Structure 1
Amino acid sequence: MEALTQNWSRLTLSDREGPGCNLTNEDCSLEFSIIAKFLTKRVLNIDAIAKTFNPLWRSCNGFKIQNYGDHIILFTFDNKRYDKEVPVGEINFDNASFWVQLHGIPPQYLTLEAALKISNMIGEVFQPKEFKEVDGGNFLWLKVKLDLSLPLCRGHLISLENGKQIWVSFKYQRLPNLCYWCGRLTHDDKDCEIWIDSKGTLKPEDRKFDSSLRLWPSS
């Protein structure tokens, strides 16, 4: 049924199947929602999800949870979160935003301009209003939208005006999964095709990514 619904434009429709039913705002639900995709291949436990998010959101009237399959969950509230006019199947889960720290930048380049130029190489940067929003003391940080289909960027080789090259390393706040084999956030080590295809022959030293990319709570 789902495949048929998605491919309706290819069908020859009868008079009864064609246009003629119009939905208006009066037909809409008065509830509001968050639509989320969990980046894991493991079976979701709806009760555990509810227990986890209930104390975090502290919604006055609580919330409802619906499982849409493919690890997509709809949370429904009595105040606005997500525009339910958009079909769940059309929502893009290929991007996510994270705070990223940039380490190893020489002191004279600890500027907003440098932060924006370097971070734009990772993804779409959320423009800060002033320098103090990116100043971490001996590092810079910005909020960046990342493409989840790509491996996480460990850092960048930066060329300075004097011809010298330096390595600027990145640390990411509140990463969910992080596969140390391929660097993607959509699964962990045990679910990675690289690990599965190796049939257990890979060793820890074969990993190209490690926990240094993560920002721990004390960071």
Structure 2
Amino acid sequence: MPLRKERSSAKFIIVAKFLTSKALNIDAIIRTFNPLWHTINGFKARSVGDDVILFVFDDEEKVEKIFRGKPWSFDKHLVVLKKYEKHSPVYTLSFSKVFIWVQIHDIPVRFRNKKVAEDLGTVIGEVAKTTKLAEMEGGSFIRIQVRIDITLPLCQGKIIALEEGSEDWVKFKFERLPNIFYCVGVSITVTRTATYGLIAMVPSMIRSMVFGFMPHLLQIHGGR
């Protein structure tokens, strides 16, 4: 039987994957997110299994605002959100990527601009090109929003090569990461520093997986 668009629900749906080994309590989830999302008409939530929850809204603008505020977490565990477009079964959705704010430290002052920051960000993942300049300014650092693959190791930093032949190291610090982060199929416990850096409370072998990086050179040219 053909199903046409006009027969679908007019509701706006967020599909949320809770990266936790704990059993989910719908009532606790609603109590947690209702005051955070400030919805006028509230929302409905129901489990579809495999730690996936559907959040149903009447207001599309509220859904957009929730996505602008991500990443979200519940009980210190990462929650991966996706918009449900109503044309695919929920079980076919992938929850391997999330947008994270990343601070880039120690860029030479004359190169501390949006273009250089975006070039550096490609080392980590897909850079959000819509980030406003005012959101990027961080005083001693510059910040960008990057879509990262949470199944891959996090990149700790990057070697940059300057025109005069010298090299520098720039550091990446990830903002608002939850205490439990999934990497290479392994659940690891981490804690945040005052500057949003990460310290993995795991054996050194797993630590190297999490903070692993390939120190490829990024050539920085003057006048950018």
- Matched residue type, 2:169: W
- Residue 148 of structure 1 corresponds to 150
Q: Report if aligned partners of 2:131, 2:144 keep a CA contact under 8 Å in 1.
A: no
Matches of 2:107 and 2:180 in 1, distance apart?
25
- The structure number with the bigger radius of gyration is 1
- Residue 41 of structure 1 corresponds to 21
- Structure 1 pair 142/186, CA: closer, same or farther in 2 (3 Å)? farther
Matches of 2:100 and 2:158 in 1, distance apart?
17
Matches of 1:177 and 1:86 in 2, distance apart?
31
Cα RMSD (Å) of the superposition? 2.8
- Residue 12 of structure 2 corresponds to 32
Matched length: 177
Listed as ranges, the gaps of 5+ residues in structure 2 are: 64-82, 191-201, 212-224
- Residue 76 of structure 2 corresponds to none
Deviation at 1:171, TM superposition (A): 1.2
- Structure 1 pair 184/175, CA: closer, same or farther in 2 (3 Å)? farther
State, as a whole percentage, how many aligned pairs show the same letter: 41
Of 100, 122, 125, 2:124 maps to 122
Question: What is the TM-score with the length of structure 1 in the denominator?
Answer: 0.70
- Structure 1 pair 33/185, CA: closer, same or farther in 2 (3 Å)? farther
- Residue 93 of structure 1 corresponds to 95
Question: What is the TM-score with the length of structure 2 in the denominator?
Answer: 0.68
Of 49, 74, 80, 2:54 maps to 74
- Residue 57 of structure 1 corresponds to 37
Q: Structure 1 or 2: larger strand share?
A: 2
- Matched residue type, 1:121: V
Deviation at 1:178, TM superposition (A): 4.4
Q: Report if aligned partners of 1:112, 1:130 keep a CA contact under 8 Å in 2.
A: no
Matches of 2:96 and 2:131 in 1, distance apart?
27
Alignment of 1:191-210 (within 5 A): 207-208=207-208
- Structure 1 pair 188/130, CA: closer, same or farther in 2 (3 Å)? closer
Matches of 2:40 and 2:142 in 1, distance apart?
37
- Matched residue type, 2:96: D
Listed as ranges, the gaps of 5+ residues in structure 1 are: 1-20, 191-201, 211-219
